[in-house]
Chain A
Amino acid sequence: MKNILRSTIALLSVLVVFTSCDNASKSNSGALSSSAAEKVYVAPGEHDEFYAFISGGFSGQLSVYGLPSGRLFKVIPVFSQDAEKAYGYNEETKPMLNTSHGFVPWDDSHHPDISQTNGVVDGRWVFINGNNTPRIARIDLSTFETAEIIEVPNSAGNHSSSFVTENSEYVVAGTRFSIPIPQKDMPIKDYKGNFKGALSFISIDPEHGHMDIKFQLIMPGFDYDLSHPGRGKSHGWFFFTTYNTEEASTLMEVNASQNDKDFIAAVNWKKIEEYVNNGGGTMMPANYAHNVYDEATHSATSTMKDEVRVVNPLDVPGAVYFLPTPKSPHGCDVDPSGEYIVGNGKLSANLTVHSFTKMLDAIANNKVAGDAYGIPILNFEDVLAGVVEQPGLGPLHTEFDGKGNAYTTFFISSEVVKWKLGSWEVVDRQPCYYSVGHLMIPGGNSQKPFGKYVLAMNKITKDRYLPTGPEVTQSAQLYDISGEKMELLLDFPTVGEPHYAAGCPADLVKPRSKKLFKLEDNKHPYATLNEADTKVVRDGKTVHIYMTTIRSHFAPDNIEGIKVGDKVYFHITNLEQDYDVPHGVSMIGANTSELLIMPGQTETFLWEPKKIGVWPFYCTDFCSALHQEMQGYVRVSPANSNTPLKWSLGEDIE
């Protein structure tokens, strides 16, 4: 008893001390007012300054966040089916996921990049690559929906993608894995000299953004890891890091690390474009899908293409050079002026920076050290601008603030290091929690970065958040980079793996964001533009239901004459013309997701009834005060019954 009493007193005294201390700090808060919390606080109802489009990695999607708050606004489905939005489940968007391998409902989305005009991000489209079944997607930033996906033939592990040139002439996709081109049945051990790597230059239609593979450069069988376009003075060139110049096919962690140096491939795409425009290159048979979503019909179509133009680099002398770069370089980043090309050798402790001017000079003076499969290799010393000596362990990626500073992530030492272009001195370093991959400065891949924040994306969080079992969230960390020293402001959890991101000022995108689809512009073949036109049509065992929604009912809401074994298509048009009033719908036993239909839009789901009875359907998106009343029934009769086809709203079916 005495003991307990003593402990209690002691505890109380501790509490008193803590409490008084707390008061002291509270009264002192004015002196500490410039806190990180204030810098990321966006008051309720206020908007963020920047959009950040953060890829989902293995989720296959793209998330939209606000910076500096780190608030999540939307997950845009791109390469993976999304039951929330019916993407890849409804009849309209299923074709978006079509490929030469059939319907592929998942991919690994890695590197978003925003379209540019005159070297500055313009906020029209975001491009993103699917790694696994090589694809490039275009997301329209007026609807925040995936508008187009093109499959990339002759490619595998589409990783050095999807980076946009400074006038959005091309989005570029490089293969990570080299493969037989064309594919054929052959022994794996015969890789060396026989496998090839395709670098694809996909043209972008300046008005509509439509993608088309202009040409594929068929390179030696290395792994093409990352890439970035030249800009400013180096506009017209593209740079790709390579590893596995050993051309090994097994135990890559040993065999692809034998050469002291791999290469950065410098490609003069303007030269090749000219060659192609004059009829150069050859058309080779190929099979790849091109999927386009049409905003007027609210539907996607998938077209299979059967040939692609390929270019042998040896046929265009002076178009491709190799710049030796130490030890399996990963990140390949070009500074805003276009002069410096940074190769981050992930197994090297140093950062290698090449000079574009020196590269041109070495080419002009024919200073060639040798060749690889006929492609000239320049001397390392002739193209080297400088080395950042031992700034950290495991360098991966670099971005720029437009004020002469570069920021590089280090995976193993888990930090962001700030250094100066030209003097190569380290200015500051800040830890990341933990194991950072990419980092992003809004506009970082352009001539004009908005160097206020850098966002570091971490692979591992361990103890940083409340635990959620063995799988814990990955994270993004926001640093203020407006001063000489970086300041960690915020860390927030992400969806999937935040592999990479692209960002831009919100004002570029906000005014163009669509509020609804105009009903009179709806060209969907099964659209129903008013309740009077709603109907149910049988065509053999297929039934089409032309249905509408408006607060708070479906028209029709009673349907009879459906039979077991029918294929029933619900084509539902949302008649609302008010901002932010979608309707949802689902039917008991439907082997698919709900629909989420925007105002003025038509969407379709398939229902194949297997049991007789009277089955309800209802609105799945809380739409209105009478949302719970928004429901209906379908009567399902035996396959051989004679129940007549009937439909109604607001009356008994008779």
Chain B
Amino acid sequence: MKTLKQIILTLLCAMAFVACKNESKETSTNSKPEQTAPSEKKSGQAFIKDDEAKPTVLHIAIGSKDHTTLVAAVQAAELENALVNAGPLMVFAPTNEAFAALPEGTVENLLKPENKDVLANILKYHVTPGRYSKDFLKKFKKLGQANNGYVKVEVTDGEPLIGGAKIIASIPAGNGIVHVIDKVLLPPAE
């Protein structure tokens, strides 16, 4: 406990010094006409501390050990804030295993900064504006996804198949629902 306190204090000191350093740099160059906006990257609804409300679809994914690849992808594509929105959002969340089943190198390639748009497009293909139970999904022929594409819904042996993927589990979220699926959905080539 004591150590923790010391670490925090040390960190605070370090932060204060760093802030100071930046400040003095600005003073010397005097080149920036306006205050720099706070970093957009880590601000927004996704970063509100809230331990009372039911977890959002994003926080469910973050909390799942089977979805570390998906979470890394969402972070790389900077889609965190969209996934905590009022929605409602239905996220089809492929497991780590599903990502691993992709051809070797695919995930690594998608996570590269230059492929951010391609990755975002794939991820948005896993999101539907709406909130439907697994059973209710059987009423659909297709779902309109957030990337503007459609994913086909079929019913096999009384189970809905979403773009060929099976729903292995469904977790209701504060702003929608997460359906865990066993396959990565790839948008049809345009």
For A349, list chain B residues within 8 Å (CB): 124, 146-148
Q: Within the assembled complex, what's the spacing in Å between the Cα atoms of A257 and B132?
A: 14
Stretch touching chain A among B23-31, B101-109, B177-185: B23-31
Asked if A186 is at the interface of the complex by the 8 Å CB criterion, the answer is no
**A434 with B12: in contact, given A34-B33, A393-B82 (CB under 8 Å)?**
no
Contact of A17 among B6, B17, B44, B86 (CB under 8 A): B17
Distance in angstroms from B134 CB to nearest chain A CB is 15
A31 touches B147 (CB 8 A): no
Distance in angstroms from B147 CB to nearest chain A CB is 6
Contact of A21 among B23, B33, B81, B129 (CB under 8 A): B23
For B172, list chain A residues within 8 Å (CB): none
For A257, list chain B residues within 8 Å (CB): 144
Number of interface residues of B (CB under 8 A): 44
Q: Within the assembled complex, what's the spacing in Å between the Cα atoms of A36 and B139?
A: 51
- Find the B residue at minimum CB distance from A31: B30
Asked if B16 is at the interface of the complex by the 8 Å CB criterion, the answer is yes
Contact of B85 among A13, A327, A414, A463 (CB under 8 A): A414
**A414 with B16: in contact, given A3-B2, A14-B9, A254-B139 (CB under 8 Å)?**
no
B81 touches A254 (CB 8 A): no
B81 touches A431 (CB 8 A): yes
A462 touches B82 (CB 8 A): no
Query: Max chain A CB contacts within 10 Å: which of B33, B44, B50, B144?
Result: B144
For B81, list chain A residues within 8 Å (CB): 413-414, 431
A1-32 interface with B by 8 A CB criterion: 3, 7, 10-11, 13-14, 17-18, 20-21, 24-25, 27-28, 31-32
B26 touches A31 (CB 8 A): yes
Asked if A488 is at the interface of the complex by the 8 Å CB criterion, the answer is yes
Q: Within the assembled complex, what's the spacing in Å between the Cα atoms of A254 and B138?
A: 12
**A28 with B144: in contact, given A7-B5, A254-B139, A414-B81 (CB under 8 Å)?**
no
For A10, list chain B residues within 8 Å (CB): 6, 9, 13
Stretch touching chain A among B35-43, B63-71, B154-162, B163-171: B35-43
A143-169 interface with B by 8 A CB criterion: none
Asked if A394 is at the interface of the complex by the 8 Å CB criterion, the answer is yes
**A25 with B23: in contact, given A17-B16, A347-B129 (CB under 8 Å)?**
yes
B26 touches A14 (CB 8 A): no
B20 touches A435 (CB 8 A): no
For A36, list chain B residues within 8 Å (CB): 35
Asked if B130 is at the interface of the complex by the 8 Å CB criterion, the answer is yes
For B43, list chain A residues within 8 Å (CB): 431
Contact of B82 among A25, A390, A412 (CB under 8 A): A412
Asked if A647 is at the interface of the complex by the 8 Å CB criterion, the answer is no
B16 touches A463 (CB 8 A): no
Q: Within the assembled complex, what's the spacing in Å between the Cα atoms of A3 and B6?
A: 11
Asked if A583 is at the interface of the complex by the 8 Å CB criterion, the answer is no
Distance in angstroms from B37 CB to nearest chain A CB is 7
- Find the B residue at minimum CB distance from A7: B5
A21 touches B124 (CB 8 A): no
**A28 with B23: in contact, given A253-B130, A462-B48 (CB under 8 Å)?**
yes
- B 69-108 binary contact with A (CB < 8 Å = 1; else 0): 0000000000001100111010000000000000000000
B129 touches A350 (CB 8 A): no
Give the top 4 A-B pairs by smallest Cβ distance, nearest first.
A349-B148, A17-B16, A21-B20, A463-B48
User: Would you give 24 A-B contacts (Cβ < 8 Å), ordered by A?
Assistant: A7-B5, A14-B9, A14-B16, A17-B20, A18-B16, A21-B16, A21-B20, A24-B23, A24-B24, A27-B27, A32-B35, A253-B130, A347-B144, A349-B148, A390-B121, A393-B124, A394-B129, A413-B81, A433-B44, A433-B45, A434-B45, A435-B85, A460-B86, A487-B37
- Interface of B toward A, CB cutoff 8 Å: 2, 5-6, 9, 12-13, 16-17, 19-20, 23-24, 26-27, 30, 32-35, 37, 40, 43-45, 48-50, 81-82, 85-87, 89, 121, 124, 129-130, 132, 139-140, 144, 146-148
A-B contact sample (16 more), CB < 8 A, given A21-B20, A434-B44, A463-B49: A11-B9, A17-B13, A17-B20, A18-B16, A24-B24, A28-B23, A34-B34, A254-B130, A257-B144, A347-B144, A394-B129, A412-B129, A431-B81, A487-B34, A487-B37, A488-B37
